[in-house]
Structure 1
């Protein structure tokens, strides 16, 4: 089997790039690292620039640079493609379109459709049973979110963008918090301030000022935000679970930094060894199997049982962190399950 791993940084491999490439090579597979931002077409045959890992090359580690000369590799000459990380925003639309066309002839570990439409917090209501998710309100209208917050004066909330990652712009909103209004305005694009400016501007700049400054020159500024009920179970411990082909294969706990409510490793949290009880395994594998129906075969799940907080499809950390926490490398199990699944 020839596996093409599409990533952004061939000079600095990520925490999944390295152990997974090592594992597939141990199973006798050929591994190529390709640049996801360099997808191109030769008479509508799609290829990328990349490096084929020599058969007897040394193992890679997170942060390693891929060794070897770069060349062109056609996607239809591979048996399996793993989009490890999405393309850059500037080229994403073109790259996703070409990858989808390529996926009509080549197997992808995670489907293009799944990565585009399910790798978002919007999808929690579609995938999760109601009893395993927090109630959420999603809008790009500040007034709707502010009204919901005010209706529950004793409720603690979390506010965040639906397509953020690594803990970006995740805010804990206490009851009667003095900055809540500002935070919700910020997350929804500060349209209140822009509208107010447009309303007063005609008195200073003429009749066209509202158009020019409110929605013309400044453009459409509204952004979506999620207002989600805070889950107290998080304080007792959040777990990251890696699920491959519907099976829980690796997991670790996350201990937040003492000065931060977020448990993201990128925000200073530390991976710690934990066990999973039967209910956690059952829920994780249920979600994994539901995602498999949409072509998603590798996913990272964040759980504070009985609640599932979110799932991550694009390059979910956890496999390497689980190894650091437990001392056990589970990457061979990932490769074994994927090879068996795609050889059917």
Structure 2
């Protein structure tokens, strides 16, 4: 059996890339590391550059390059494909289109439709029950968001892009804050100023979507990342925020810590996992500040490695077990 892991860089493996590769190889699978941004087609058959690791041998480690000769591999010659990171923006549209077509012939761990349309903050309103999502406004119109803030300017708010990760451009807006207007203008692209500078030309109009979300005190107590695989909560850890920052993202200086999940948290995470499975998503990282879900991480769903650091337990074998069982069940239903 052959698994293709589509990753961003062959010369520097991510923590999740290495863990998943090793877990599948321990089960006798061949694993190919393929470049997500090198997807191409030969007479409409999708292929990529990559390297093949046999079903046995030295394990991979995060950081160093995967060793082996780079060759061409066709997606339809693999039994399973896993998109581990999304493509670069410059090529994303073409790559998503080709991968969607390839997914009609080959099984994918996470569906292309799910990665395209559910790996976004916009999707929280669809996936989550009302009691588990934080009230928010979404717009690319500065005046709309500014007016909504002013109507409740005695409250704390959070403003952030709808499609960014790792805590990028996430701002905490205090009550009656002196820089709130400027922040919202900046996040929505400074459309009015750009129009003035370029004399109203259409090319100058580049508004950007922003989410204005109520700040919840539960976040101050720390978020938890829960990795859900095929509807089962497999791994989790807490995030202790940087004392100089309101964000607890690891990329922003947050620190992983060992935590427990109570029954309500497990039930909520697994119910979301089952909902996502209806759309072909079998592996997701859920950011939780119970009873609220802050974000769904499908494109960059790491969490296994940090959980291993905090607990000392590698959960990747359970992940592989669940994914393989789901894949085999899917194949049996098709026969």
Deviates more, 1:150-159 or 1:271-280: 150-159
Which structure 2 segments of 5+ residues have no match? 330-335
Q: Is the CA contact 2:158–2:171 (under 8 Å) kept in the aligned structure 1?
A: yes
Aligned to 1:37, the other structure's residue is in SS state: helix
> 1:42 deviation in Å?
1.0
Task: Tell me the distance in 2 between the aligned counterparts of 1:3 and 1:315.
Answer: 18
Task: Tell me the distance in 1 between the aligned counterparts of 2:200 and 2:206.
Answer: 9
Q: State whether structure 2 residue 186 is matched by structure 1 residue 186.
A: yes
> Given the two structures, how large is their TM-score scaled by the length of structure 2?
0.96
Q: Sort the Cα spacing of 1:253 and 1:233 in 2 relative to 1 into closer, same or farther, 3 A.
A: same
Task: Tell me the distance in 2 between the aligned counterparts of 1:105 and 1:298.
Answer: 20
Task: Tell me the distance in 2 between the aligned counterparts of 1:343 and 1:287.
Answer: 23
**RMSD of aligned Cα (Å):** 1.0
Q: State whether structure 2 residue 143 is matched by structure 1 residue 143.
A: yes
Please show how residues 123-272 of structure 1 align to structure 2 within 5 Å.
Answer: 123-195=123-195, 197=196, 213-216=199-202, 218-272=203-257
Q: Is the CA contact 1:16–1:315 (under 8 Å) kept in the aligned structure 2?
A: no
Q: State whether structure 2 residue 113 is matched by structure 1 residue 121.
A: no
Aligned to 1:295, the other structure's residue is in SS state: coil
> 1:237 deviation in Å?
1.7
Aligned to 1:167, the other structure's residue is in SS state: coil
In the TM superposition, what whole-angstrom CA distance separates every residue of 1:61-107 from its partner, at most 9, and x where no partner exists? 21121100011111001110000001111111111111000000101
* 1:101 matched residue in structure 2: 101
Residue 313 of structure 1 is aligned with which of 266, 282, 298? 298
* 1:58 matched residue in structure 2: 58
Task: Tell me the distance in 1 between the aligned counterparts of 2:55 and 2:97.
Answer: 32
* 2:47 matched residue in structure 1: 47
The structure 1 segments of at least 4 consecutive aligned residues displaced by more than 3 Å after TM superposition are: none
Task: Tell me the distance in 1 between the aligned counterparts of 2:299 and 2:163.
Answer: 11
Q: Is the CA contact 2:227–2:285 (under 8 Å) kept in the aligned structure 1?
A: yes
Q: Is the CA contact 2:227–2:235 (under 8 Å) kept in the aligned structure 1?
A: yes
Q: State whether structure 2 residue 307 is matched by structure 1 residue 322.
A: yes
Residue 279 of structure 1 is aligned with which of 264, 268, 276? 264
Task: Tell me the distance in 1 between the aligned counterparts of 2:61 and 2:205.
Answer: 43
Task: Tell me the distance in 2 between the aligned counterparts of 1:87 and 1:24.
Answer: 23
> 1:236 deviation in Å?
1.2
Task: Tell me the distance in 2 between the aligned counterparts of 1:39 and 1:125.
Answer: 32
In the TM superposition, what whole-angstrom CA distance separates every residue of 1:180-212 from its partner, at most 9, and x where no partner exists? 0000000000012234x26xxxxxxxxxxxxx5
In the TM superposition, what whole-angstrom CA distance separates every residue of 1:198-250 from its partner, at most 9, and x where no partner exists? 6xxxxxxxxxxxxx53224x432111000000010011121000000010000
> 1:316 deviation in Å?
1.4
Which structure 1 segments of 5+ residues have no match? 199-211
Task: Tell me the distance in 2 between the aligned counterparts of 1:17 and 1:139.
Answer: 35
Q: How many residues align?
A: 329
Task: Tell me the distance in 2 between the aligned counterparts of 1:33 and 1:184.
Answer: 41
> Given the two structures, how large is their TM-score scaled by the length of structure 1?
0.94
> 1:319 deviation in Å?
0.8
Aligned to 2:89, the other structure's residue is in SS state: coil
